[in-house]
Amino acid sequence: MTGVPARRGAATGFREAVPPPRAGALLAVAALLGCGWGLPGCVPPQLLTLRSGLDSLRAVVDTMSVRDSVTSRLVQDMHREVAEQRDILLSTRATTGSTTQELFQQMERLEGQLNEVMGRFKQITERSQPAEIGAANANQLYDQAAQDLTQGRYPLALQGFRDFVARFPALELSDNAQYGIGECLFAQSKFDSAAVEYAKVEAAYPQGDKVPAALYKLALCQEKLGQTAEAKKTLEDLVKRFPLSGEAQLARERLGTARRR
């Protein structure tokens, strides 16, 4: 009796789209000229738009792990646009002789805040990327091993499950992979080796959900090896410890058949 170790539900990613605060440099100049360079308190709509977009972006960076390439490009584009508009302000100021300092100070503050956002983004990306890569590799390795087992490629499946346990001994799927090692050996009638691997499921992952299945298959291995007393004890232990499991019901049926013999 073999089967693919059931894979528990994988966590789903969550990405939140951030509307990019795009604006053309010429529109910024027009807005600046339209409101008048010498009027105190005149803030171009372009600056308000950029500031609003920056506030939204900072909130997103603080509340979620922003780490996909689309968001990265968004932050970089916004940074470049602020720099371009600052250059335009400097150029226009040199041409018109304007002495207004407020707009330049606002632009400098905005650019400084954006640099802060860029720094946070980089920290989050560097911190989360290894975990993402590790999880992706683990899932891919497990899925391939499970597929090999299902399709009867037992040596490949065995190697895949062994690699998984060696590289990822403490993940949610690790007990499944250890159980898969036993399944590969059981399918090849290597009952002594399979019994050793099934026993490791409980020893290494006593809280894992594969323990009842591993105990049941351990009992089957013991039966195959002629260890009748040991098999009976394993089945009784399974029924006692996991009375509501499906394997416990199978164990009861097997124990009842043995008593009727």
pLDDT at 83: 67
- The per-residue pLDDT of the chain, averaged, comes to 76
- pLDDT tens, residue by residue, 161-205: 999 999 999 999 999 999 999 999 999 999 999 999 999 999 999
- Contacts with 111 (C-beta within 8 Å, 6 or more apart), sequence order: 79, 82, 83, 86
Alpha helix ranges (H) inside the chain: 25-35, 45-63, 69-96, 102-150, 154-167, 174-187, 191-204, 211-224, 228-241, 246-260
pLDDT at 6: 63
Measured CA to CA, the distance from residue 240 to residue 230 in angstroms comes to 15
pTM reported for the whole predicted model? 0.53
- Contacts with 180 (C-beta within 8 Å, 6 or more apart), sequence order: 4, 5, 145, 146, 149, 157, 161
Helices 25-35/69-96 angle, 10° precision:
40
- pLDDT tens, residue by residue, 42-68: 556 666 666 666 666 666 555 554 445
- pLDDT tens, residue by residue, 109-143: 777 777 766 665 655 555 545 545 567 789 999 99
Q: Residue with structure tokens 């939204």?
A: 56
